[in-house]
Copies of this chain bind each other. A is one copy, B any other.
Amino acid sequence: MRIFLAITLLFLNTSSFAQDESLLQYVKPIIGTDKMGHTYPGATVPFGAVQLSPETDTLSYEVDGHYNKDIYKYCAGYQYDDKTIVGFSHTHFSGTGHSDLGDFLIMPTIGKLQLNPGTADHPESGFRSGYAHANEVADADYYKVLLDKYKILAELTATTRVGFHQYTFPKSDQVHIILDAVYGIYNYPDKNVWTYIRIENDTLITGYRQTTGWAKTRTVYFAMVFSKPFKEYGFQNGSKKEVYRGFWNKFNTSKNFPEMAGTQIRAYFDFKTEEGEKIRIKFAISPVSNFNALENLHTETPAWDFDAVKKRGQALWEQELSKIQITADKETKENFYTSMYHAFINPTIYMDVNGEYRGLDQNTHKATGFTNYTTFSLWDTHRALHPLFNIIQPGRNADMISSMLAHYDQSAEKMLPIWSNSANENWCMIGYHAVSVISDAVVKGNTGFDPNRALDACITMAKHENYDGLGYYMKLGYVPEDKNGSSVSNTLEYAYDDWCIAQMAQKLGRQEVYREFIKRSENYKNVYDPTSGFMRPRMSDGSFKKDFDVLNTDEPGFIEGNSWNYSLYVPHAPAELIKLMGGNKRFTPHLDSLFTMQLPDSFFANTEDITRDGIIGNYVHGNEPSHHVAYLYNWTDEPWKTQDHVRMILRKMYLPTPAGLSGNDDCGQMSAWYILSALGFYPVAPGSENYSLGSPAIDKATLHLENGKTFTVTAKNQGDKNVYVRKVMLNGKTLDRDYITHTEIMNGGELVFFMSYKHKK
């Protein structure tokens, strides 16, 4: 790992891309922190294990025995509208629709010691503080805020595995820094299985937090060090589990007693400060042990220089952002580079500097030859994020697939990840789209792993009889609604995954597998109801379900998308789908209606994840099943509608403001859609070499590829009105097709779009 570090440093010093301006200025981590984006404003490095960020009124917190039920809103711990900050914790998901993490809250305070967080309405009742956005800065790997109640300036930065805090205090002999191991995101009663804190000496604290929840059995170890020795310390232990206490009475454990274990523990550390004095904290985490956390801490942050850590973290961001350099207006640049920022947060590194990580079997494993990652929100991210990685982060993407294969090896169910959450499978959403990610990499020749072993894992997964109706699917050719939920969504997604396996098998020359799965990939036809013209739940006796509402998202048979949207989900065979649905004459109006129809109010009452702002007609950009839909016009006689619809979505669904994301960013999937669509091409069916052409929203983009080559996209004469593609030239030759291939990109070259205010034909 140290070798890797050295190489990275070398790379940073001899940055290969000449650059006129810092791209960091266009990164606005605050984008998406209001309403539905579920992003966080805090500090993190690209794919970092630590995400050090403020918590506002999350109150997934107990206060007087009351628990906040509004957990959905607080997936990232921060909501822009909130008025108080309760502290800063070290782990956050970016853009998810379910909650977890929020490990180890730190809060600096002054005055009478309060170990209760207090309420948002009455911050004086606890240790939380008011704050103002005017006193807040959120940059890549840097967050700053003034805590009004205490006049303490809080600054945060991070390395991959270490959160670095810097607090500037007024003069006081009553400074208390709280380490709260009760706090967590979605912290329902009993979420904390166990926590343990050890005071090793007057600056070093270690311990761990073990939780159950979205991750069934998750443990985070830590090592925390203060820049200055504390004077005194103590604990509050709210655990009900303290059973054997008798002999603890031989110590006064209320103050300066060096260890505490339980489920509800808060520690505090007392200091005296001079005016303007800074106290710094390095807080390292590890999935394996306190020892490893301490090694992470010493390796990544050997010194106490906050600015140097921040500078280094921002240099890492600059390096990642500059992989695509664009020419565009400021707003587009802010959208684009913030999308790049959000796209390069997840998956997260899940491995210590010594290469050790916790496996799905809860044993300690050593990653050999790859960096181990977790936070795979694959139902979302297989669509555009991993394909984007295959272009611009192929090395990391191969490591992510190696991590998935390790997950498979460690899985009791012998499954590739569905949603990998810190050595746990949380089974979130449907399908098994690790096969899409693997297929896309294999087909595109990005195989820093054994592709045949990977294919074998995909096949095992695709034949798992007990998994979510898959046994029925294999027997009947569809998932019957009377036997298994989400039957239509499942059938359609299984069919797509089957096709992915077939593509990979073909590439690897395994014809028998190809034939088996290409046949299975046609199963989407089995849930198409020609009478209604929609995909429709089917029963095990072969009949279609009666009483069927094509608009209701809660309609049995579907998940995160109604039949209108899901009926278009055959990404691997749009042409066949169009034929099935009655040819272009019927299909194009169907698509048109999707974007224009008026939805009843009841739709919004029933639909999670999106608001009226996040919807165009019945097209829901905040939910992923429709992400390829705008590109389907390319298969009709009116491809110009792809062009204007893509531009409309780019314009309406992405704004450089706190409320600018129309739905959950979903670990970068929404951002990856933006990036690719803004560049003018999109992978409708990952597992295919092809990218469907849309309408570039930048004037020029230069992609610096890992292979040393450069691919540029130029959009001549593009603008808000000039959204139509008149002509496309690739490497000086007119392109007579509506797609480009991965090979064409990776070979380097020049793609030029000639734009117009008028569409062709």
Q: How far is the CA of A227 from the CA of B137 in the complex (A)?
A: 64
Contacts of A217 in B (CB 8 A): 194, 196, 261
Contacts of A213 in B (CB 8 A): 243-244
**CB distance B466 to A289 under 8 Å?**
no
Given the contacts A190-B240, A196-B362, A412 and B250 also touching, CB distance less than 8 Å: no
**CB distance B243 to A191 under 8 Å?**
yes
**CB distance B251 to A467 under 8 Å?**
yes
Q: How far is the CA of A141 from the CA of B736 in the complex (A)?
A: 83
Residues of A214-254 whose CB lies within 8 A of B: 214, 216-217, 240-241, 243-244, 247-252
Residues of A680-714 whose CB lies within 8 A of B: none
A293 to chain B, nearest CB (A): 10
Comparing A422-430, A448-456, A591-599, A743-751, the segment that makes contact with chain B is A422-430
Given the contacts A248-B427, A468-B250, A210 and B194 also touching, CB distance less than 8 Å: yes
Q: How far is the CA of A247 from the CA of B426 in the complex (A)?
A: 7
A354 contacts the other chain (CB 8 A): no
**CB distance B362 to A257 under 8 Å?**
no
**CB distance A261 to B412 under 8 Å?**
no
Q: How far is the CA of A364 from the CA of B426 in the complex (A)?
A: 28
Q: How far is the CA of A96 from the CA of B212 in the complex (A)?
A: 34
Partner of A363, one of B190, B194, B289: B289
**CB distance A250 to B430 under 8 Å?**
yes
A729 contacts the other chain (CB 8 A): no
**CB distance A208 to B362 under 8 Å?**
yes
A567 contacts the other chain (CB 8 A): no
**CB distance B216 to A468 under 8 Å?**
no
A433 to chain B, nearest CB (A): 14
Q: How far is the CA of A248 from the CA of B485 in the complex (A)?
A: 12
**CB distance A258 to B210 under 8 Å?**
no
Partner of A412, one of B191, B258, B429: B258
Q: A172-210: contact bitstring with B at CB < 8 Å (1 yes, 0 no)?
A: 000000000000000010110110101110000010101
Contacts of A274 in B (CB 8 A): none
A361 contacts the other chain (CB 8 A): yes
A305 contacts the other chain (CB 8 A): no
Contacts of A257 in B (CB 8 A): 413, 466
Partner of A250, one of B212, B243, B364, B467: B467
A8 contacts the other chain (CB 8 A): no
**CB distance B212 to A261 under 8 Å?**
yes
Residues of A361-385 whose CB lies within 8 A of B: 361-364
A291 contacts the other chain (CB 8 A): yes
A256 contacts the other chain (CB 8 A): yes
| Nearest B residue to A428, CB-CB | B247
**CB distance A259 to B412 under 8 Å?**
yes
Contacts of A240 in B (CB 8 A): 190
**CB distance A361 to B212 under 8 Å?**
no
Contacts of A468 in B (CB 8 A): 250-251
Partner of A243, one of B198, B212, B244, B247: B212
**CB distance A364 to B198 under 8 Å?**
no
Interface centre among A240, A361, A468, A485 (most CB of B within 10 A): A361
A290 contacts the other chain (CB 8 A): yes
Contacts of A208 in B (CB 8 A): 362
| Nearest B residue to A256, CB-CB | B466
Partner of A190, one of B191, B206, B241: B241
Q: A260-295: contact bitstring with B at CB < 8 Å (1 yes, 0 no)?
A: 010000000000000000000000000001110000
**CB distance B412 to A200 under 8 Å?**
yes
Q: How far is the CA of A430 from the CA of B485 in the complex (A)?
A: 61
Contacts of A469 in B (CB 8 A): 250
Contacts of A241 in B (CB 8 A): 190, 193, 212
Q: How far is the CA of A557 from the CA of B210 in the complex (A)?
A: 41
| Nearest B residue to A240, CB-CB | B190
Contacts of A191 in B (CB 8 A): 243
Contacts of A418 in B (CB 8 A): 247
**CB distance B290 to A243 under 8 Å?**
no
Contacts of A251 in B (CB 8 A): 413, 466-468
**CB distance B364 to A214 under 8 Å?**
no
Interface centre among A243, A289, A468 (most CB of B within 10 A): A243
Interface centre among A210, A216, A427 (most CB of B within 10 A): A216
Q: How far is the CA of A466 from the CA of B253 in the complex (A)?
A: 9
Contacts of A199 in B (CB 8 A): 412
Q: How far is the CA of A485 from the CA of B252 in the complex (A)?
A: 12
Contacts of A291 in B (CB 8 A): 363-364
| Nearest B residue to A214, CB-CB | B244
Q: A638-677: contact bitstring with B at CB < 8 Å (1 yes, 0 no)?
A: 0000000000000000000000000000000000000000
Residues of A341-394 whose CB lies within 8 A of B: 361-364
Q: A421-463: contact bitstring with B at CB < 8 Å (1 yes, 0 no)?
A: 0000011111000000000000000000000000000000000
A497 to chain B, nearest CB (A): 15
Q: How far is the CA of A364 from the CA of B467 in the complex (A)?
A: 36
Q: For the complex of A and B, list the 5 residue pairs with the smallest distance between their C-beta atoms, beginning with the closest.
A: A247-B427, A250-B468, A258-B412, A259-B412, A217-B261
Q: Can you identify 5 A-B contacts, CB atoms within 8 angstroms? A: A200-B412, A251-B468, A258-B412, A259-B413, A364-B364
Q: A199-B412, A212-B261 are in contact. List 19 more A-B contacts (CB 8 A).
A: A190-B240, A190-B241, A191-B243, A193-B194, A194-B212, A198-B361, A200-B412, A213-B243, A217-B261, A247-B428, A247-B429, A250-B430, A251-B467, A257-B413, A257-B466, A258-B413, A290-B361, A290-B363, A291-B363
